[in-house]
Amino acid sequence: MAASSDDMKKEFNFRRYQDGDSDHLPWNKSIWQASWTHKCPTYIHRTPPCQGSCPSGHDIRGWLDIVRGIEKPVGDVSMQEYAFRRATDSNPFPSIMGRVCPAPCEDGCNRNMVEDHVGINSVEQYIGDQALERGFSFESGAESGKRVAIIGGGPGGLAAAYQLRRMGHGVTIFEALEHLGGMMRYGIPGYRTPRDVLDGEIKRIVDMGVEVKTGIRVGKDVPMAEVEKEFDAIIFALGAQAGRPLPIEGADAVNCITGVAFLAAFNQGRLKHVTGKVVVIGGGDTSIDVASVARRLGNITVENEKDRPEHIIINQTAHDVAESAVRQGADVMLISRSPISKMAAAEHEIEDATREGVEIVGQLSPVAVIKGAEGRATALRVIKLEDDGKTPIEGSEFDIAAELIVAAIGQSGDLEGMEGYANDRNLIDSDKNFQVPGKPGVFVIGDIVRPHLLTTAIGHARIAAQSVDHFLKKKTMDVRPKVDVNFFSLMEKLEETDKLPGTFKADEREDDTVKPIDVGLRGTSDSNWAVHNYEDRSAHEIISSDMLFLGHFEHTPRYKRHTIEVTAEDVIGNYQERLVALSEEEVIGEAKRCMSCGMCFECDNCVVYCPQDAVHKTDKSDTTTGRYVYTDYNRCIGCHICADVCPTGYIDMGMGE
């Protein structure tokens, strides 16, 4: 069964003849013969856009289909564990990512063309929370005898350790700070990443046999040359722990700090209050976190210079808890170049911060930091911008009084002691396999390549671990697929359910005169040694909404997670988690809203609407995910009704007999 010509890209097709070189009839006349056609149903597996939009490459459709009950667990495995195993093939942090990931998968969801996206994050949180509650653990692979050093214990480094231990490679993580977690711990406040949840998901990885060395900075406490000599491969997973300072005059004032430094001091438990008005510059989620934390910390009037927040942050000291007892509401303003409606931060985070008392002002750009007689910043000079967020409005400059100015405008790396690997942006270059160019056996992932999302670092880790495995086994690095995600494999599913095709043996045929070139030998429709009429295009194609039968799907409201609303009056010291998880019933209901794009979800439309009774359900003993129906090609006339009514776009009309 060949691919549908409608889906083939012309630039990839070799043309043996030019137009007019052959007397062949036009294809439309050749294919159609009165009431029948040579085009017959083919079952095509494609990648859904949720998965194609996910930087970690989650098989999102897969674990949603497990939660909803379409794909059944094997043996006595529970739905919760089966979904957990599928989800963590790509991402070992479902509880944390289900809470804090900005969910580009939901932006890509085809359900947006019906009414509203599937609440993927809420289902992922359920899977992760159930895993922690039920004590699910990870298995390590057979020991390979190879050792890999991972420099950095954040989401990328931990995810790489997880993937490598599954392959059986020894792993040692070097972490400069006291605890593992990286930006999940030191860059995001605990009311968004509850520490018991974070610790549980980290412990599950460490328990796989990962050696951990915290408080050890490679390049300072351990020479880089020693690490290079001792280990068979190295992965840099340093993150971008240095914030970018404001690129304006006066930004060298001691009370002008970065958002990264502010959040690290808070998450380490050192920063317990602010003093005076705080002005935050940014517009992304980090700037929202800074502003929201400042509101929770509250403001006190200090008499000792050393108690000002900038000194606590810079000098690595800690506030006295007793001082914080007299906290009052902090005056916090967040400014952004973009209009508020176009800020990079998630809309609900902006709404929460506003409710908590943060003043958010869009279309302002910093011009200069105004210093007082002592050299400290006293104000931030800004200029108003046009609606495009770029063009200054002449004569619109004004000053905003400030005691603390926090720049949350980006991040960069800190490669002290490892300068030989740094590029001109103080980051590290990588190729498509996440190997450092010109450095065999040295790989790099996460924000130190390009500051982005937590889930991006986790996606890098999956690919880099595969590259490390190839390197250690002295295999050629594979060319990465066009759609580089964690694919559902029908063959693995058939193997899991003991339904693999049989072995082809030509000498068992009754007619010994048949040669391999003969049609009889090549036919597979009456044999059990091939997967019939199935094509896997998931590595090459993402299925779009126009390939679905959207009319099948009724408008179904989302089951939305509720948020505990914190107001300006009760924000001080309020570190309660804000998200309220969905119940199991709600989670299953939300998973059922998934349209299973690119994969059969057993709706029976093709069976019901076939006018020739040519499409049938696969025998119960042979059915599995992806093999729910089959076509009797002796009855099929190629009318393509089954393809038209397939909600998921799983059926194509391909050439065949």
- State pTM to two decimals: 0.89
Q: How far is CA 528 from CA 259, 516, 524, 614, in A?
A: 62, 18, 8, 19
For residues 505 and 107, give the distance between their C-alpha atoms in angstroms, rounded to a whole number: 49
The pLDDT of residue 523 = 55
Q: Which of 110-124, 510-524, 599-613 has the lowest mean pLDDT?
A: 510-524
The answer to whether position 132 is within a domain reads: no
The strand pair at 377-384 and 398-401 is best described as: antiparallel
pLDDT of residue 173 exceeding 90, the answer is: yes
Averaged pLDDT for residues 497-503? 82
Averaged pLDDT for residues 104-109? 95
323 and 352 inside one domain: yes
pLDDT of residue 504 exceeding 70, the answer is: no
How buried is 452 (Cβ within 10 angstroms: 0-12 exposed, 13-18 middle, 19+ buried)? middle
364 and 274 inside one domain: yes
The pLDDT of residue 15 = 45
- The angle subtended at Cα 447 by Cα 443 and Cα 453, nearest 5°, is 125
CATH of the domain at 189: 3.50.50.60
The answer to whether position 322 is within a domain reads: yes
For residues 630 and 614, give the distance between their C-alpha atoms in angstroms, rounded to a whole number: 8
DSSP 486: -
DSSP 427: S
For residues 626 and 126, give the distance between their C-alpha atoms in angstroms, rounded to a whole number: 25
Tokens of 140: 């390590």
Q: Enumerate residues 6+ apart whose C-beta is below 8 A from 254.
A: 310, 311, 314, 375, 376
Would you tell me how many other CB atoms lie within 10 Å of the CB of residue 353? 25
Q: What element of type H or E holds 151? A: strand 147-151
pLDDT tens figures, 586-634 = 999 999 999 999 999 999 999 999 999 999 999 888 899 999 999 988 8
Q: What is the DSSP string of 242-267?
A: EEPPP-SBTTTSTTEEEHHHHHHHHH
Percent share of the chain, pLDDT over 90: 74
Count the domains in the chain.
3
Q: Name the residue type at position 243.
A: G
Cα Rg for the chain, rounded, in angstroms? Answer: 29
Domain end marker among 389, 410, 431: 410
pLDDT of residue 20 exceeding 90, the answer is: no
The answer to whether position 57 is within a domain reads: no
Averaged pLDDT for residues 457-486? 95
* Max Cα–Cα distance, the chain, nearest Å: 102
228 and 295 inside one domain: no
The answer to whether position 101 is within a domain reads: no
- Comparing CA positions, the residue from 200, 174, 313 lying closest to residue 254 is 313
389 and 271 inside one domain: yes
234 and 159 inside one domain: yes
What CA dihedral angle connects 193, 195, 201 and 203, to 10 degrees?
160
The pLDDT of residue 614 = 93
307 and 359 inside one domain: yes
The pLDDT of residue 36 = 56
Domain coverage including residue 22: 5-49+490-553+597-655
26 and 44 inside one domain: yes
527 and 648 inside one domain: yes
pLDDT tens figures, 182-209 = 999 999 999 999 999 999 999 999 999 9
224 and 357 inside one domain: no
Domain end marker among 449, 479, 509: 479
The answer to whether position 342 is within a domain reads: yes
Domain end marker among 410, 441, 467: 410
pLDDT tens figures, 296-345 = 999 988 667 777 888 888 888 888 776 666 778 899 999 999 999 999 99
pLDDT of residue 86 exceeding 90, the answer is: yes
- Comparing CA positions, the residue from 376, 378, 242 lying closest to residue 311 is 376
Q: What is the DSSP string of 488-510?
A: --HHHHHHHTT-------GGGSS
Q: Which of 126-130, 174-178, 385-389, 497-501 has the lowest mean pLDDT?
A: 497-501
327 and 364 inside one domain: yes
The answer to whether position 94 is within a domain reads: no
Tell me if 336 sits within 8 A of 385, measured CB to CB.
Answer: no
pLDDT tens figures, 628-657 = 999 988 888 888 899 999 999 999 987 654
The pLDDT of residue 460 = 98
| Residue 580, helix vs strand vs coil | strand
pLDDT of residue 37 exceeding 70, the answer is: no
The pLDDT of residue 519 = 45
**Residue pointed to by tokens 């190295």:** 234
400 and 500 inside one domain: no
The pLDDT of residue 311 = 85
The answer to whether position 472 is within a domain reads: yes
Phi-psi region of 219 (alpha: psi -120 to 50; beta: other; left: phi over 0): left
307 and 217 inside one domain: no
Tell me if 357 sits within 8 A of 308, measured CB to CB.
Answer: no
For residues 308 and 297, give the distance between their C-alpha atoms in angstroms, rounded to a whole number: 13
The answer to whether position 582 is within a domain reads: no
The pLDDT of residue 16 = 44
